[in-house]
Homo-oligomer: A and B are copies of this chain.
Amino acid sequence: MNYKLRCMHCGKIYSPDEVKYTCPVCGNRLGTLEVLYDELPNEKKFDLEHKGMWAFSKFLPVKADHFEVPLLVGNTPVYEKVELAHELGLSNLYVKDDGRNPTASYKDRASALAIAKAKELGISTIYCASTGNAASSLSGLTAASKMKSVIFVPKSAPAAKITQLLVYGATVIAVDGSYDEAFDLSMEVGEEFGWYCRNSAVNPYLLEGKKTGAMEAAFQLNWKVPDVAMVSVGDGTVVSSIYKGFRDLKESGLIGKIPTIIGVQAEGANAVMKTFESGIFDEPNDMEAHSIADSIAVGKPRDVLKACKYVKASGGKFISVSDDEIGHAIVELARKTGIFAEPAGATTYAGLKKIKDELKGKSVILFITGNGLKDINSVKEFVAQPYVVRPNLKETKEALRDAGAI
């Protein structure tokens, strides 16, 4: 696909050869770029089962022979939840479970795109600064692709998260400093060695990979898109990608409308929401972030401008929910749908619960961005203890009676 890049801040249009990642005038933070295609295809058949997200390759900024990641990324299920919809007063509810990607998160869609672009450029090492899903996704998919990954994390990152990266063979640099220092160091080192950058927002192509989540959903729903799409928000790239996926489909004529996009943040990390509500999108309201939803506990969101502009264009908004609401949402979502989401994934459901009255009568799709197995510990305090019995029928019956099971 032929495409151009437009700065989200100054609006200047570049050809792909002119710029690497961001607008040279507006810089890394505000000068994020969006990918604009010269022409969007209008075809209706997509082989999700065999190709996953690459079924949409004609909507992606890659050359056909570069996009082979030998793992099936995407083709995640979307479930219709009629009963739960009615319980919440909605006309219908769809849940897309992206925890079923190869490394169990939405981020695989971006990593796959990064690998395709790096191959196109003949670069075999890809780096990122992340403690979470972006890092595990990049390390897993580069391993499958016989490429190298270098991951910069703050030294304080949880050992279990780092273990997964090391299993995949990533080179992990634990920086004795903050996440922001790890981020800046990664950019400096990546630049010096000419590695490919998989830092969200900075690299405009990652969003293009992520948008396939929205496109898949539209295809799976036979192009009848819901009124509202909800997703959790940290850096702002995923929520932007949901909008972009629907916008590209609308431009291509495959769908008739773009859903209203509602981004859900954790209360302790709602910098995008604050910026959106200020109305001045190019003056980010950074903060110190705290939330159990570590995948979206971002204080300095890198894609804030795009997220605000796109969500506004959709007629949507940002809301935020407390950690307590997130914890209970994990449990309720699991019990009502069988989908065990990581805290950031269930944040979306917590948001839906919070504003269900506003959404009365509407159809809604929730994007669940990661699997709960990634972070079992954070949910412990939201469930009761098991019933302990000695191995005899009498004690067991008492326990079962207490539990309401008999």
Residues of B within 8 A of A379 (CB): 163, 167
B388 touches A174 (CB 8 A): yes
Cross-chain contact of A380 among B48, B103, B159 (Cβ < 8 A): B159
Residues of B within 8 A of A145 (CB): 338
B103 touches A100 (CB 8 A): no
How many Å from the CB of A377 to the closest CB on chain B?
7
Residues of B within 8 A of A173 (CB): 386-387, 389, 396, 399-400
A14 lies within 8 A of chain B by Cβ: no
Cross-chain contact of A340 among B75, B140, B330 (Cβ < 8 A): B140
> Number of contacting residues on A, CB 8 A?
86
> A374 CA to B337 CA in the complex, in Å?
20
> A339 CA to B70 CA in the complex, in Å?
10
A184 lies within 8 A of chain B by Cβ: yes
> A383 CA to B169 CA in the complex, in Å?
9
How many Å from the CB of A341 to the closest CB on chain B?
10
A331 lies within 8 A of chain B by Cβ: yes
Cross-chain contact of A400 among B72, B150, B380, B406 (Cβ < 8 A): B150
Residues of B within 8 A of A189 (CB): 393, 396-397, 400
B380 touches A168 (CB 8 A): no
Residues of B within 8 A of A334 (CB): 140, 143, 167-169
Stretch of A175-183, A259-267, A292-300 that contacts chain B: A175-183
Closest to A160 in B: B376
A252 lies within 8 A of chain B by Cβ: no
Report if A390-B176 is in contact (Cβ < 8 Å); known contacts: A373-B373, A405-B150.
Answer: yes
Cross-chain contact of A163 among B49, B166, B380 (Cβ < 8 A): B380
Cross-chain contact of A166 among B148, B160, B383, B399 (Cβ < 8 A): B383
How many Å from the CB of A163 to the closest CB on chain B?
5
How many Å from the CB of A309 to the closest CB on chain B?
32
A171 lies within 8 A of chain B by Cβ: yes
Of the A-B pairs whose beta carbons lie under 8 Å apart in the complex, a sample of 19, sorted by A's number, is A103-B338, A104-B104, A143-B336, A159-B380, A163-B377, A164-B373, A166-B385, A167-B382, A167-B383, A169-B331, A173-B389, A173-B396, A177-B390, A177-B391, A184-B391, A185-B392, A189-B393, A189-B396, A371-B373
Listed in ascending order, the chain A residues whose CB lies under 8 Å from chain B are 48-49, 70-72, 75, 77, 79, 81, 97, 100, 102-104, 125, 140-141, 143-145, 148, 150, 153, 155, 159-160, 162-169, 171-177, 181-182, 184-185, 188-189, 192-193, 330-331, 334-340, 371-374, 376-377, 379-380, 382-393, 396-397, 399-400, 403-406
Given contacts A72-B77, A176-B391, A188-B393, 7 further A-B pairs with CB under 8 A are A70-B79, A71-B79, A72-B79, A103-B340, A163-B380, A173-B387, A189-B400
